[in-house]
Amino acid sequence: MSAPAGSPARVSRVAVLGTGLIGGSIGLALAKHDIEVVGFDASAACLERARELGAVSKTASDVAGAVRDADVVVVAVPVGHIAPLAAEALAAGAPVVTDVGSVKGPVVADVVAAQPGRDACFVGGHPMAGSEQDGVDGADADLFVGATWVLTPTARTDPDAFTTVRSLVGLVGADAIAVEPERHDSLVALVSHVPQLAASTLMDVASRGGDEHRTLMRLAAGGFRDMTRIAAGHPGIWPDILSANRDAVLRALDDYVDALASVRALVAGGGRDDLLDLLERARRARRSLPVGTPPVEELAELRIPVADRPGAIAEVTTLAGRLGINVYDFEIAHSGEGGSGVIVLVVAMAGAEELEHGLAEIGYHVSRGALG
Amino acid sequence: MSAPAGSPARVSRVAVLGTGLIGGSIGLALAKHDIEVVGFDASAACLERARELGAVSKTASDVAGAVRDADVVVVAVPVGHIAPLAAEALAAGAPVVTDVGSVKGPVVADVVAAQPGRDACFVGGHPMAGSEQDGVDGADADLFVGATWVLTPTARTDPDAFTTVRSLVGLVGADAIAVEPERHDSLVALVSHVPQLAASTLMDVASRGGDEHRTLMRLAAGGFRDMTRIAAGHPGIWPDILSANRDAVLRALDDYVDALASVRALVAGGGRDDLLDLLERARRARRSLPVGTPPVEELAELRIPVADRPGAIAEVTTLAGRLGINVYDFEIAHSGEGGSGVIVLVVAMAGAEELEHGLAEIGYHVSRGALG
């Protein structure tokens, strides 16, 4: 392949707006590839600390200064502040802008509303990685290695902008997956936002009462420690996230509480077999959580001509996302106006056939080859 | 001190009834101290496998054979089978019997009912350690190192029996804490049984739906993985545990669901400050979970004369448990009839004064010295 993801060919200068834990970690990861990272932060002290730590190689005193000459701009601020800052970066001429917010539907919609002419160059993103640490002092160049990083292209997304952001994700060591913005929000409600509430609530219930609490904490073994680990994280980000994703969070929370009510009935009624069924089902699901990357001989390359088909990037990549198929590499060959060209995807051989069929169903003609 | 906990002086031969994950791990840990471990298991194949793995040095074909000449008998079978087996061991002449069941109130009551003459020699136990593994092949000599191991002495407990079991716990590397049987059951409902149900239920809710599920699993980052880790454990033990501890589990589950309902109201109503308060409280509690053992210069020795005071062992040790004060070492000097003698406790200096005051309040005269 001529330009594998992870190649720095298209990315030599990155602007990071917001140099906290996530922005700082991105900066540190990019620094390993000799990419120039220009930082901007509303807090001069935070920005200076990021420079000291090597998370940014240059600092800028405003958004326009940071954006100037950057190949891609990463907005790494709390959810409520993303859209205005992304719009400002686009207005200042940034060729490609992405973000790292935990909620995507409202953010993408707000960017479209604020910059309807240039929103095609905005690609929403969300790295599924975090830390109990707080601020740039907790930044880690390896924070994203092996993590899943959601991108949310839409039918309006410019293919080159997507490719650039996809490369950036590869550079920091993460695996990109494409999902529609609203669907992302439903999924993370269930897999991230409700788990955070569930963990913090459990920790809070367990910690009620003085003496009782201390004994209880002595009895807290590995399972309880695992379950409540995310409760140790910095809470400041959560009110914004929960507010922005309120409807999806409430739906997922209701599903969880309903399921707990069913479990309560089984415990109260002595429903042994049904309890065992539930625990066995959960065990199988937990054990099937995906880990790692397959060896190259288990990968397949799909070539998908997309000449003159608008929105092809979003269609193809979000279909892979919907099927849960990891795209290990991504490229657009002979990319041109309106997304014409050939999309080259590298996926696990096990999922290649299913993706081919899915693509054929929505009108794509796919050719397949093996790698390695 | 003349006989520190962990000294094998009083324990040279142990019978393990039930050679699965926990029984096998105890056997492996004791083997490191050259203690003879005689195993019995209802499954001949499981017993033979334990011998092959070195978890038992000898096998017995029945309970009486295993118990003969043992200094202490450990019953390591599912909760529903503990009391009959413990009673059988006592009837066969075992000097001291303990168990490792996750529920203590009903077990202790059943042993008293079955062996009212000899129940003083039964000390309930519950190691707060486990594994996703299953069976003796998952046994690990280090499973209990640094873990908290609850003992549930009562006013009827023989002090020497308690000391022997306390030594055994030290030998496998765990820290003993004494708690009343019923109180143990309330606490583990909150810190172990409900977390298990909460994790398995969350995993089950997240895994509903085919394609949706697969994408969701790709998005499952560290927090979700941590929270659902215990859902990967073997479910076979749970119906018994939940049945034996039903009332306490239902109370704790109701508390948890009520708290989640309050959180839902905050999310729905945009209660930012209250949400932040909850998350901040939970964060502080999670960060204060105790870890590790203090250095010897931070330890204090409390000497507590208990001449002719029945039930002193249970009173003193469960008070320490109630105050959340870890007893790092324990000894009875000049032990005699009815518990007369001096109880020597080694505790963290930080908690020594509080324990002294608590003991004074219930009529004990304590003298204190430093160690190291």
pLDDT in tens, B240-269: 999 999 999 999 999 999 999 999 999 999
The pLDDT of residue A339 is above 80: no
CB neighbour list of residue A291: distance below 8 Å, 6 or more residues apart? none
Structural tokens at position A138: 């907790």
Tell me the C-alpha distance between A292 and A86, whole Å.
Answer: 32
Alpha carbon distance B237, B244 (integer Å): 11
Using alpha carbons, select from A283, A288, A289, A337 the residue that is nearest to residue A309: A337
Asked whether the beta carbons of residue A226 and residue B222 sit closer than 8 angstroms, the reply is no
Say yes or no to pLDDT of B204 above 60.
yes
Give the per-residue pLDDT at A207.
86
Secondary structure percentages of chain A, helix, strand, coil, to 5? 55, 15, 30
B-chain residues near A289 (CB < 8 A): 217, 220, 225
Q: What residues of chain B lie within 8 A of the CB of A183, using their CB? A: 215
Q: Which structure tokens are listed for A286?
A: 């937990």
Confidence category of residue B158, pLDDT binned at 50, 70, 90: very high
Taking an 8 Å cut-off on Cβ atoms, the answer to whether B288 and A259 are in contact is: no
Looking at residue A371, its pLDDT comes to 62
In this prediction, residue B316 carries a pLDDT of 85
| Phi-psi category of residue B286: left, alpha or beta, with phi > 0 → left and psi -120 to 50 → alpha | alpha
Confidence of residue B104 (pLDDT cuts 50, 70, 90): very high
Number of H helices, E strands in chain B: 15, 12
Mean pLDDT over B34-51 rounds to 97
DSSP letters for A183-241: HHHHHHIIIIIHHHHHHHHHHHHHT-SHHHHHHHHHH--HHHHHHHGGGGS-GGGHHHH
Q: A275: which chain B residues are within 8 Å (Cβ-Cβ)?
A: 238-239, 242
B306-316 pLDDT, tens digit per residue, is: 776 667 878 88
Q: Check residue A18 and give left, alpha or beta (phi > 0: left; psi -120 to 50: alpha).
A: left
Dihedral sign (CA B284, B290, B294, B299): positive
SS3 state at B73:
strand
With contacts defined as CB-CB under 8 Å, which chain B residues touch A226?
A: 226-227, 229-230
Domains of chain A are 8-179 (3.40.50.720), 186-267 (1.10.3660.10), 296-370 (3.30.70.260)
Residue with more model confidence, A168 or A233: A168
Q: How high does pLDDT run on average in chain A?
A: 87
Q: How far is CA B98 from the centre of its chain?
A: 11
Of B204, B254, B289, the CB nearest to A281: B204
How far is residue B121 CA from its own chain's centroid?
18
Q: How far is B264 from chain A (nearest CA, A)?
A: 7
Tell me whether B243 touches chain A (CB under 8 Å).
yes
In chain A, the residue whose alpha carbon lies closest to the alpha carbon of B146 is A221
Q: How close A271 comes to chain B (CA, Å)?
A: 8
Q: Is the pLDDT of residue A203 over 60?
A: yes
Whether the CB of A355 is below 8 Å from some CB of chain B: the reply is no
Residue B321 phi, psi (nearest 5): -60, -45
Over chain B, what is the mean pLDDT?
Answer: 87
| A contact test, residue of B201, B249, B317, B327 with most A CBs within 10 A | B201
| Residue A32 sits at the chain B interface (C-beta within 8 Å) | no
Contact B138, B131 (CB under 8 A): yes
ipTM: 0.74
Alpha carbons within 13 angstroms on the beta-carbon side of residue B300 total: 17
User: Is the sign of the CA dihedral B239, B245, B247, B253 positive or negative?
Assistant: negative
Q: Does A348 touch chain B (CB under 8 A)?
A: no
Q: So what's the pLDDT on residue A290?
A: 67
For residues A274-289, give the mean pLDDT. 90
With an 8 Å Cβ cutoff, are A223 and B230 in contact?
yes
Map residue A76 onto helix, strand or coil: coil
Inter-chain residue contact A322 with B243, CB threshold 8 Å: no
Q: Do A130 and B222 touch (CB under 8 A)?
A: yes
Amino acid at A208: R
Interface test with A, best of B133, B238, B260, B273 (most A CBs within 10 A): B260
Tell whether A275 is within 8 A of chain B (Cβ): yes
**B152 vs chain A: nearest CA distance in angstroms?**
13
Kindly report, residue by residue over B206-221, the tens digit of the pLDDT: 888 655 667 777 787 7
Instruction: Indicate whether A22 pLDDT > 90.
Output: yes
Token pair for residue A283?
């065990």
Question: Which residue among A190, A224, A232 places its CB closest to the CB of B216?
Answer: A190
- Least confident span in A74-78, A315-319, B47-51: A315-319
Provide the token pair at B304: 């507590």
Q: Which B-chain residues 212-231 have CB contacts (< 8 A) with chain A?
A: 212-231
**For A231, nearest residue in chain B (alpha carbons):** B283
Contacts of A321 in chain B (CB under 8 A): 215, 218
Phi, psi (deg, nearest 5) at residue B35: -95, 135
Provide the residue type at B215 as one letter.
T
Say how many C-beta atoms besides its own lie within 10 A of residue B269's C-beta: 11
CB proximity list for A91: less than 8 A, separation 6 or greater: A115, A118
Of the ranges A91-100, B169-178, B356-365, the best mean pLDDT one: A91-100
Considering only CB atoms, which chain B residues are within 8 Å of A254?
264
B98 touches chain A (CB under 8 A): no
User: HEC states along A254-289?
Assistant: HHHHHHHHHHHHHHHHCCHHHHHHHHHHHHHHHHCC
pLDDT at B32: 93
Q: Which residues contact B128 (CB under 8 A, 6 or more apart)?
A: A219, A220, A221, B147, B148, B149, B150, B192
- Asked if the model's pLDDT at residue B85 lies above 90, the reply is yes
The answer, for B203 touching chain A at a CB cutoff of 8 Å, is: yes
User: Which of A21, A177, A226, A279 would you mutate first to test chain B, the one with the most B CBs within 10 A?
Assistant: A279
Q: What is the mean pLDDT of residues A226-254?
A: 91
Residue type, A285: A
List the single residue in B with minimal CA-CA distance to A220. Answer: B191
Would you place residue A2 in the very low, low, confident or very high pLDDT band (cuts 50, 70, 90)? very low
